[in-house]
Chains A and B, each alone.
Chain A
């Protein structure tokens, strides 16, 4: 009897050790997960909260140009009294002026059209690269990345020289007698499309290339063998298998293109309306930080929707595969 009592009182030491080890392992793995969370917290969430707070403030002739400024000069209570002055007036204002709605809408439409154009230009390039002899693929990849070695701004400026009425393109076409009058391209939406397609092409080509390069070419041979002509084989095999690359490339082009400022400003002239330009004007011309912050928050929400939808679709696809 006494033996049993002793055994009950002291749990076997072997049971305690795995528990300690489990605790240790759990701590380490949690630490690893914490790092990216901290990164997102400091470089995404904190700046977002600051911008969001400004968007709820009122413009003021001061430094910084808005009230209330939340600080601890009046102690904790002063910090919290500032909260009472925050409101959604700026968001209401955005709905009252049609300019903002139109700017958002044209931005999304321009970004969408540019994304489709970039896909149409980028897909053949990526396909050609993926089917090129393995020895020259690194060189081709290098050529796609090469433009990044020059400043983005300078490259967009270069397009002004090409597209302006007396620019290189018009000179070429005039000298070849293809046109009699110089084409007006600069300061139109066409110039914006050219600029976006040119600038964002590598972001489309790289994910497409990586998904096409992974593909086993014997799949195409198998499709042909089973009676599928080359074009049909492309749409039934190659394209569906490259869809992850297509989606990634489109998001990488669409998301920054919606908020693009430099290209519409330099190539689109004063007539074109895009939300990036509106944002810039509010910040620097009007010095209205609260309204421009509200514009930025809405833009962010606008872009979060396709990202979440994409992630949702991916998660579901993975679920199905299991």
Chain B
């Protein structure tokens, strides 16, 4: 039997130029009065993909989801599902189902009636409904709770009923609006993996809206990072983290150090940057194409920076400063080093060995160093 992980690794339809997009947002704009929630946005999602829309509240991600479900119509542009234009199709005729943030379970119906609701609407024969409901209850491990009403369940159980109800009809696409938002941290982590397994098992296309980057990184095949109604970047979780294409994305996902500077020299895959104080940084394979003398930002993650008391001999990039702050977190230590030009650099070191005495302490002179391919140059 093929493990789920191997299926996951093989799945990269976005790299295939011949792959047919399943969901297509084509120059979609949505305005609410004067407010533009979604601005001229284009996006493609592939069949069986686990796609995450990530952004702060008010970035338009939920509006995008609601347009796909049919609760809102785009002001301009088209949304295609499996080649069919969805304009004018009411939500009750769309082959998509949604799991609501509030779960929206019908309070006057039992768990099994909630799950059967959609199946009854499509006129499925009774024995088939019973079979499907039993199947769904088993899938979410709620067999003993079939006759309960929603208010007699815990938060996690309600979440699973909402999930079972939304997948019971076997929709082409399942939309999940902050599916784990109301759960506590531990339950959320468990449920993330359950959702991924479920998606693989049912072979559905999932579009999930979340503001939690960890959640998006864990579950999604690809993430679209949104800001002010626009998509800033669409990429796999490692790409989003390691190769952000804008300051916004670099900032939004994880921690990052940013160095302002100008491009001094740019060759095939090496870029030399000059900082305001004259410090030089050499970057390999991380260069956004920009003309010489352009104002750019060099972005580097804290765990890719080494802190040492002496200048490393072999380092291409090394900057001198003073230890400003140390935070010992157990699994790692975070250093804040104030460079001589005043900029504070955040560096984190994994505590691989058991060391109780740190050779570096507050106000020590220190060097921060990093490899040329450790960071990226961002033009915007």
Contacts and interface: CB of A to CB of B under 8 A. Distances in A.
Given A224-B92, A236-B117, 6 more contacts: A221-B71, A223-B106, A225-B166, A226-B118, A227-B118, A321-B149
Contacts of B117: 223, 226, 228, 236
B121 A222 contact: no
Nearest to B165: A226
B90 A225 contact: no
Contacts of A241: 107-108
B87 interface: no
Given A216-B102, A218-B100, A321-B151, A227 B92 contact: yes
Interface of B: 69-71, 90-93, 96-98, 100, 102, 104-108, 117-118, 121-122, 149, 151-152, 165-166, 169
B121 A227 contact: yes
A219 interface: yes
B102 A226 contact: no
A240 interface: yes
A225 B97 contact: yes
27 contacts: A216-B104, A218-B100, A218-B102, A219-B104, A221-B69, A221-B91, A221-B100, A222-B100, A222-B106, A223-B106, A224-B91, A224-B92, A225-B92, A225-B97, A225-B98, A226-B92, A226-B97, A226-B121, A226-B169, A227-B93, A227-B121, A228-B117, A236-B117, A240-B108, A241-B108, A321-B149, A321-B151
Q: Of residues A218, A226, A236, A240, which shows the largest number of chain B Cβ atoms within 10 Å of its Cβ?
A: A226
A229 interface: yes
- Assign chain A's interface to a size class: 10 to 19
A228 B92 contact: yes
Interface of A: 216, 218-219, 221-229, 232, 236-237, 240-241, 321
B106 A237 contact: yes
A69 B90 CA distance: 75
B90 A222 contact: no
A219 B106 contact: yes
Summarize A's interface: helix, strand, loop or mixed. Answer: helix
Contacts of B105: 222
B104 A227 contact: no
Contacts of B152: 321
A228 B96 CA distance: 13
B121 A225 contact: no
A218 B100 CA distance: 8
Contact of A227 (B100, B149, B169): B169
A229 B98 contact: no
A222 B168 CA distance: 13
Contact of B122 (A219, A223, A227, A240): A227
A206 B92 CA distance: 32
Nearest to A232: B121
B147 to A, nearest CB: 11
A236 B106 CA distance: 10
Contacts of A240: 108
Nearest to B95: A227
Contacts of A223: 106, 117
B92 A229 contact: yes
